Each structure stands twice: as C-alpha cells, then as structure tokens.
Chains A and B, each alone.
Chain A
Amino acid sequence: MKIFPVLHRGSLLALALGLETAALWLILDHSLYERNLMTAGFCHFTASAIAGYIFPRIIVPDRYESQPATGDFFFALVFYLPVLGLMGLVLGIPLIAGWSSKRSQNSDSSVRVNKIRDLPSEVAATHGHPVNSHGLHDLYQSRDPSKRLQAVYATLKLEDRDAIPLLRMALGDATDDIRLLAYALLDRKEYRLSKRIEQAKQNLEKQEDSGKKQLYRQIANDYWELAHLGLVQGEAKNYVLGMAYKYIELGLVYSPEDSGLLFQYAQILLRLGRYQEALQEFKKAEMLGIEFICLQTYYAEIAFYTRRYYEVKQLMTAIELPAVYPLLTTAARFWQKKF
C-alpha cells in the first residue's frame, strides 16, 4: 500500500476527491461515452485506492500499526459506493478526529499506568476511608512499638498489593507482637487464596465442560495472585507460577481468543523468564483489543531483559511525568535522560 509515500494526507485527500469528481463528470458527459467510461472507471479506482490508503491512517492513531484488512475495507467502501462512499467518509472526518483525540486522552499513560501494572498506588481507599500506604510506611519507621503495631493493624484498610510489602517488612520486627501479627495477617491472606484454589479444583471434577473455562481462569488467577502479591517466595513461587501457567493453558483451550486470558498468560510467561513467548502473547492480546498503552511497560520490560535498551528508552519516554506510582516516575525519568 506504500504507493503514495511522499504526499501529504491533505493532498492525497484532495486528489481522491478530484478524481472522484472527474469520474462523475465524465460519466455525465454523453459525447464520447465509451472512452469516458473507461477513464471514469480508472479515476474511480484510483480514488478508491487512495481512500484505502489514507483513511486507516486518519482513523487509527499513529502508535498503532494499521492492518491490511482495514485498508481493504475502505477501498471496498469507496469503490462499491461511488461518490457516496467517499463523500460520506470525508464528511465523517471531523467526527472521527474528535472521537480519536478523546480516546487518546482517556488512555493517557500517566493516568492509567499504575492500574495497568497493578502497582501499589499512592492512596488506597477502602470502605470510604482513604489510607495512605506511604504514610503507613512512615508510621512503621517509628521507634515506638505501639505505633508500629498500629501501622500493621492499619494495613487491614489497604488492598493486598499495598499491604503486603509492609507486612513482609514487619516480619523482621524486633518486637514479637508486631512480628506475629504481621505473620498472622500474611498467613490469612495466603490461606484465603489457597482455600479458593482447593475448592475450585474440587469443583472442576464435578463441572461440565462449559463451566470449566471459568474455573480454570479463577484457579490460574489465584495462583497468579499468590506469586504476584509476594505471598510465596523462591522455589515455591516458581512452582505456583508453573501451576498458573498450567491452568491458564487449559483455559485457553476453551477460549483461544480471549484477550484477558492471553494478557494474563503473557504476564505469567514474562515472570517465568520466557520473554519471546511473552512478547508474542502480548502482541496477540493487543490484536484482540487490549490497548497498546496497557502493554507499554510490559514491552519495555521485555526489551530490557532482552537487552534492547534503545527500545526501552523509546517506550519509557512515552510515559508522561509524574507517573502516579512514584517508583515508575523514577524509572521513567532515568530512561528519559539524554546520555
């Protein structure tokens, strides 16, 4: 499709409109009917080809690679609906441009990136009571054991991903009561997930094929949470990731085109250090609808592990600062430096 590489989009659009107008004029002229018909046909075909080239680029944002099927669609639309097809598309451009820019704003990386990666947020709120996890970390630094104990209790108000790092830190506390409370809280979180897994595995045996898909997804997700939240460590963590891998593959047998499953599958592969496979699965998930912006940091991570540092820089530079998650801001700043 790269037959108009040097012309500006506006010029190409004008050219297409001109060709379509010329074709219409030739058809309406009865003096040299047969020759006009051939010329009009050629003009209409060229206008359709230009439309097939230009409209995917206007509608699909720059960061996405346009697919050949999209071009074919616009070509067919203009070709089989002479005049009306092209006119409709041209009139629709302002609407499309407005929608596209709004969509772009909504998926701004600096706003959403922490949710994408499931990173600890600055302020976690539950039950309507905001609890600042960084404030709790400060409270936990107190020399007064009762304040440290208070900080550990307050993790009950945090979501797991925010609470667990503090609880793991408290496992090494010099005061027994604090250490034991942290241990008990971590143990309960792990118990809850393990129990769910056990229950779901029992249900699998009773379930018909149609219901199995959801159970596979749930089991894989719970195994993933155990590893991802840091509730298991070392070799046990690898084992748990292996189990998440096994169950998500079983789930994919039933839904090979489920973008959510593929996204999680790719994350597991990434944690297992299988970078190329992870990249392929992330790409598949993207093709099936997951936005590029959601995958940006994963691509950067894979590029980093596979030592493609220039690519890491490109991807990290696209993150607007300050990012919501402070550690990501630090990382992004590092990669945005000019060396």
Chain B
Amino acid sequence: MQQQRYADITLLLEGTYPFIRGGVSGWVHQIIEGLPQFTFSLIFLGSRKSDYGEMQYALPDNVIHLECHYLWDHFFSAKPRACEGNPEYIRESGKLHDWFRNPCSGFDEAALEKLLVSLGQPSGFTAEEFFFGDGTWRQICEYYNKYDAENSFIHYLWAIKATHAPLFKLATVAHQLPVATGAFHTVSTGFAGFLGVLLHYRTGRPLILTEHGIYTKERKVDLQSLFIKEHRDSLGDALDMGMQYQELLWIRYFESLGRLIYKASDPVISLYENNRRRQIDDGADSERTQVIPNGMEIERFLALRTQRPEAIPLVIGLLGRIVPIKDIKTFIRAMRTVVIQLPEAEGWLIGPEEEDREYVEECRSLIRELGLEGKVRFLGFQKISDILPRLGLLVLTSISEAFPLVLLEAFASGLPVVTTDVGACREILEGNSAEDRALGSAGIVTPIADPEATAAGIVALLTDEDLWHEAQKAGARRIEKYYTQSRMLDSYTRIYDEALAQ
C-alpha cells in the first residue's frame, strides 16, 4: 500500500472494519469498493490489540492509509508528578459538564472548540494535569460532594478516570494524524465520533456521521448485560449495592459524547426512520438528519436465484454471529417445534463462533438438551453465495438490529424471510410507504423471544408453496425498487462531493 499525504475521506471505525466481520464492516467495504473515485484513509479504534486477529478484508486500492489505536492498552504510564493544572481550562470544562447535565440550554460553540482543540495540549490541558493536578482533584471532590456523595468515592474516582483517559488518547491521535483529509466520516458516535469531533474542530473539515445502530443505546445494553452477567447469582444484592449508579454514570457519559458529535456533524445519517427520530430525541438537529437505507448489489445474487432447486429445501438458515443479541436460543427452541411438524427439516447456524465462546457452548448444550443433535447444526463462517441457494428460508431471531444487510441478501437470492420485529426489519419485509407495501410481504414478522411464533412462521412458509413464492417475488420486487447499491452509492457520492466542496 502506497503512503500518500492526502485522502478525500478519512473513515473513523470503532471495533469494526477491517478486523471484525459483520454488517457494519460489510457496509464499509461496500462504500470503499463502490466509490473508487474517492481515496480513503482509515483510522481503526479498538479496545486492546490482543482482542483482534488478522484483517478480515482485503483493502481496496483506493485505501491509501490505515492506522490502528487501542484505547485500553497502556492506559497511562507516566510517572506521577505534582502539578496544579490549568485553572481556566478546569473552569471552562466545568461549564461544559454543567451543559451535559442540563443540555436544554445552549453552549457557546467557540468556547467548545477552544476546549476540544486544546485537549491534551500543553497550551490547554494535558493527561498529566488530569491525573495528577491539584485543581483536577479539587474539581473531582467538589462534584462528588455535590452530586454523588451517597455513593462510594473510590468507585466515583475510578469511573471519572476511566471515562476521561481515552479522551486524551484520542486527542493525541487527532493531533498526530499524518494524512490531510477532505472530510471525516465516522460510522458511529462514541469514541470514533469523538475523534471525528476533535479532527473537525482542529482541521475545520466537515464531519459526516452515519449511525447503523444507535451507539448510546447499544452501550446501554452492553452495560445492562454486563451488570446482569456479573451479578447473575445475586442480582438483588447488586441492586442494593448501588450498581445502577455506576451504570448511569457511563450511560450519561456516552450520551454526552453523542451530543457533542451530533452538534459537530452534518449530515447526521441513519438507516431508517425510527433511528432518525431517536437521533433527534438524543440531541441531533432535525434539519441535519437524513435517512439513507442500505443497498445491495443485486447483480451478484441473480445467478444464485437460478441455482435454487425446484422443490423448496426444508433447510432453515440463520446467518449471523453466534452471540446473545441474535437470540440463537429462540431459533433452537423454534426448531424443536418445527421438526415435530416437519421431521425432515434442518436448522443451520451459519456464522462466526469466536466472539462469545461461552454463549456458543450454552447453545450447544440447549441443542443436546432438546434432543436436536443432527437437526440443528453449526456451520461456522461460510461464503454467502455457497450457502443461500441451499436454504429454503432465512430466519432472524435477533432481539436488536438496525438494518440487517442479510435480509437484502436473502431477497436478492430469492429467499423469503421470517424475522423478529426489531430495527428496520418490518419495513424491509412489509414496506415503508403505501406504494412499497403494495408490493406485498416478503416473509413473516414475529415478536422477539417467541419460539412458537417463529416456528409457526417457518412452518407456514415451508408448507404453503404459494405463500412462499409470493414472498419470494415481493422480496425481489422490493429490493430492485428501493434497496439497490447504486441508489445508496449515489446518495454518498452526493454527500462526499458536497463535503469536499466546502
């Protein structure tokens, strides 16, 4: 890869492309590959280097730079040294924190820019001043006494340190970026988005935000899951111990970062209408928001339709990572009912199993428990073009999704779908507007965590050929009309052109 000094677009990627496979990574690859007229540089932000393996994608030729930073490696290793800390910066940052607590009031954009540009700089406020400064210590004590005195000070102190340390690391990344950039494009809020804010204020170049899911919501879910997992045997005690407070502090932190990012970004893009509304609720300016749904290169899948056997295969596939959010257990339980009604049916779990080994083992145990060995199989990661023609139905049992690309891939390959009613799934299957709905339903939508409804949907489609073919046709018509890759790429071409023209 040849190093150059300028990239049209710098993509800011947190925990996704090119090291992790999944919907967001697939989308990033699609954008880079589909827009060869632009050059890209990539900044990957991860947790720890040891959490990631080899790159999962071959970088296209228009990627001219890649750098990786790990936020929780080498947290802060400088030798402690007494210092006072910039009193003016501490005072101004206090005002910013007041705004985070009460975001209804406005905040002076010039003051915000000054604070963010000088973050981590000797002229502003360094990491050393944050960790060892007397002024910082006094401010932490004051805020603790004012807002959270009824809880543990040690917990409070560590939460403040843990939330602020990555910001200094990101400030260093922003100040050391070796590539000049026409525009920054962050694929989430959170840390990547905050880096985008720093880069936007430092360089004056536009910041574009595309949110697939809603970052704040996902972190909230992560924190809830962690809370439940850590206290699975003593949840009642955990609640008494005030664990909710720590959790709320982190949630407020991500909400505040989100607010800064929405303030700096234009446009603020979501994949479907519900998420656009949520962005507005969370502080985005509605004038800046827009919806650009995912698109699919249908031509790649046309050949798959012809490979489909005449008889509908009694094979039900779930394509996705084997992780709790996909609710694989509901799929397995549904298969118990399906195999009683259709003894020849098989369930295939197709997707990587490395992310949560413990959950994979729980799923395997459930398969054994329900006597479904040989009926539900783990196939691991498979090439989608090999697997889709062999399926009779695609099933998605997720408890949370944004805009799953796999649904579009199923439609493109002529496969009806049974999916839970999450994210954009219902509008993808049944249509968004009256004109769209007139195309028919491309499958069946079910409630979450309802194995019986999932099984009923599967059995209905696999036992009624007319219904199956109607759903197949509706899916193909819908994707050709609303979800083509060219439609999506045209939208991003326009956005990039406008940003580069600024």
Chain B residues positioned under 8 Å from A232 (CB to CB): 333
Q: Would you call B233 an interface residue if the criterion is a C-beta within 8 Å of the partner chain's C-beta atoms? A: yes
Selected from A177, A184, A197, the residue in CB contact (under 8 A) with B217 is A177
Q: A184-B224, A233-B452, A239-B370 are in contact. Are A192 and B239 (CB under 8 A)?
A: no
Is A212 positioned at the interface, with any CB of B under 8 Å from its CB? no
**A183→B329 CA distance, assembly (Å):** 12
C-alpha gap A186/B232 in the complex (Å):
11
- Chain A residue with Cβ nearest B448: A171
Given known pairs A156-B239, A177-B220, A185-B228, the reply for A235 and B233 (CB within 8 Å) is: no
Interface residues of A in 168-219 (CB under 8 A from B): 171-172, 176-177, 179-181, 183-188, 191-192, 194, 197-198
Considering the complex, give the chain A residue whose CB is closest to the CB of B337: A235
Partner of A236, one of B229, B237, B238, B333: B333
- Interchain CA distance A310-B443 in the complex, whole Å: 49
Please report which residues of chain A, range 210-241, place their CB below 8 angstroms from some CB of chain B when the two chains form the complex.
Answer: 232-236, 239
Counted as pairs of residues, one from A and one from B, with CB atoms less than 8 Å apart, the total is 89
Q: A153-B239, A157-B239, A194-B365 are in contact. Are A239 and B448 (CB under 8 A)?
A: no
The interface residues of chain B lying within 8 Å CB-to-CB of A156 are: 235-236, 238-239
Do B327 and A236 have beta carbons less than 8 Å apart? no
- Residue of A127, A171, A192, A234 near B452 (CB, 8 A) is A234
CB distance from A89 to the nearest CB of B (A): 53
Instruction: Give 1 or 0 for each of A5-49: 1 = CB within 8 Å of chain B CB.
Output: 000000000000000000000000000000000000000000000
Within 8 A of A (CB), among B347-368: 362, 365-366
Answer yes or no: B310 CB below 8 A from chain A CBs.
no
**A172 to B365 alpha-carbon distance, docked (Å):** 27
Q: Report B-chain residues with C-beta under 8 Å of the C-beta of A198.
A: 365, 369
Contact B400 A153 (CB under 8 A): no
Picked from A126, A180, A233, the residue with its CB within 8 Å of the CB of B400 is: A180
| Main secondary structure on A side of the interface with B | helix
> Chain A, 144-166, contact with B by CB distance < 8 Å: what is the 0/1 string?
00000000010011000000000
Q: Which residues of B contact A191 (CB under 8 A)?
A: 232, 362
Query: Count of A residues near B, CB < 8 Å?
Result: 29
Chain B residues in 8 Å Cβ range of A183: 327, 399, 448-449
Contact across chains for B336 and A194 when beta carbons are under 8 A apart: no
* Closest Cβ–Cβ distance, residue A242 to chain B (whole Å): 10
- Give the Cβ gap from B364 to chain A, nearest Cβ, in Å: 11
- Give complex CA distance A127, B452 in Å: 36
Point out the residues of chain A lying under 8 angstroms from B450, CB to CB. Answer: 171, 233
B236–A184 touching, CB < 8 Å: no
Contacting B236 at CB < 8 Å: which of A127, A180, A197, A239? Answer: A127
B258 within 8 A of A: no
User: What residues make up the interface of A, taking CB atoms closer than 8 Å to B?
Assistant: 126-127, 153, 156-157, 171-172, 176-177, 179-181, 183-188, 191-192, 194, 197-198, 232-236, 239
| New A-B contacts (15) at CB < 8 Å, excluding given A156-B239, A171-B450, A239-B370 | A171-B448, A172-B447, A179-B399, A179-B400, A187-B324, A187-B329, A188-B229, A191-B232, A194-B366, A198-B365, A232-B333, A234-B451, A235-B340, A235-B452, A236-B337
